[in-house]
Structure 1
């Protein structure tokens, strides 16, 4: 008698049923994973820009600014005011002490968060670091998405210029 190798129809159906159950359980968790990564990435990009601006202010002995910018990716970006950090941001240092962005003063930019489902708001439009790394004002910025509950990130700028983050912030 010749022995046949392969799968029977029953074995194939059982395998597909088990795979379907596993996928059903994994997909919602994968969505949360993606949303959490988007929030964490946004918060980390901003914190990196803040830390860079602070360290460059100390290193160069000049003021550095981190501000809201809706044209941060342009060749000649500007601070545009407003408190919607989701428009983008710009970190720059006074290259010549003039108080303006010129020359090689641009340090880092953050692109707009439009169409990402992430909101990034605060109470001020800029932070200015002095040559000691301290900021001119303090504020708390909120990074949220469409989920509710303790899924957001809250970034606090302290008077010393250091950044603190709360990873269990309850978004409104």
Structure 2
């Protein structure tokens, strides 16, 4: 009597090979997901800043984009800053609140440390800094590497840049347990 099928040994061997292949592929897949998260954060920040600039022009008032708890990685508020006091004035209208998980560290240079302000003409209004672009760095967790950058030119134009680049601002802060403080796209 002839039986067609697989032996127990054949099934165990195939199952073992599949398990081995999954173990080999998992780190690469995990890195792909982390890279995708960084890209999404960069595009959302760029979109938020572009929207704030457009709102400032449309409403002919200052619009402020403020990092939640002074940490861009946690998200931001977009506020019509009628009083000039930003988030401290409860009468300022919140246009948008965008919350992020904080899983992707984002740090700004001195121009975009915790906020970005656009005046009615759509230009950025910087306080206490010299000439130059404002940059938000989307960092690698636990390393001094910026993978994406959201750059705001003096004209108010926003662009994104990609590519791993050493960035001291992304350096992990040992006092905080080792976490970081808190492609060019011309749209």
TM-score normalised per structure 2: 0.70
Conserved in 2, the CA contact under 8 Å of 1:45 and 1:110?
no
Which structure 1 segments of 5+ residues have no match? 71-81
Whole-Å separation in 2 of the counterparts to 1:68 and 1:89: 4
Match of 2:121 among 122, 127, 132: 132
**2:39 maps to 1:40:** yes
Conserved in 1, the CA contact under 8 Å of 2:74 and 2:100?
yes
Query: Which stretches of structure 1, 4 residues or more, deviate above 6 A after TM superposition?
Result: none
Whole-Å separation in 2 of the counterparts to 1:16 and 1:149: 41
Conserved in 2, the CA contact under 8 Å of 1:53 and 1:91?
yes
**2:107 maps to 1:108:** no
**2:99 maps to 1:99:** no
Deviation at 1:119, TM superposition (A): 1.6
Conserved in 2, the CA contact under 8 Å of 1:148 and 1:170?
no
Which structure 2 segments of 5+ residues have no match? 127-132, 168-187
Say if 1:147 and 1:33 are closer, same or farther in 2 by CA, change over 3 A. Answer: farther
Match of 1:75 in 2: none
Conserved in 2, the CA contact under 8 Å of 1:49 and 1:109?
no
Deviation at 1:54, TM superposition (A): 1.0
Match of 2:76 among 89, 92, 95: 89
Whole-Å separation in 2 of the counterparts to 1:151 and 1:55: 27
What per-residue deviation string (whole Å, max 9, x for no partner) do you get for residues 131-165 of structure 1?
A: 22211134112111236586621221111222222
What is the number of equivalent residue pairs in this alignment?
155
What per-residue deviation string (whole Å, max 9, x for no partner) do you get for residues 1-35 of structure 1?
A: 3x324321232123113212321221011110121
Q: CA RMSD in A?
A: 2.6
Say if 1:151 and 1:141 are closer, same or farther in 2 by CA, change over 3 A. Answer: closer
Match of 2:29 in 1: 30
My pick for the range that moved more, 119-128 or 104-113, is: 104-113
TM-score normalised per structure 1: 0.75
**After the TM superposition, which residues 72-87 of structure 1 pair with which residues of structure 2 at under 5 Å, given as runs?**
84-87=71-74
Say if 1:157 and 1:88 are closer, same or farther in 2 by CA, change over 3 A. Answer: same
Conserved in 1, the CA contact under 8 Å of 2:57 and 2:121?
yes
Say if 1:13 and 1:151 are closer, same or farther in 2 by CA, change over 3 A. Answer: farther
Whole-Å separation in 1 of the counterparts to 2:90 and 2:55: 15
Higher helix share: 2
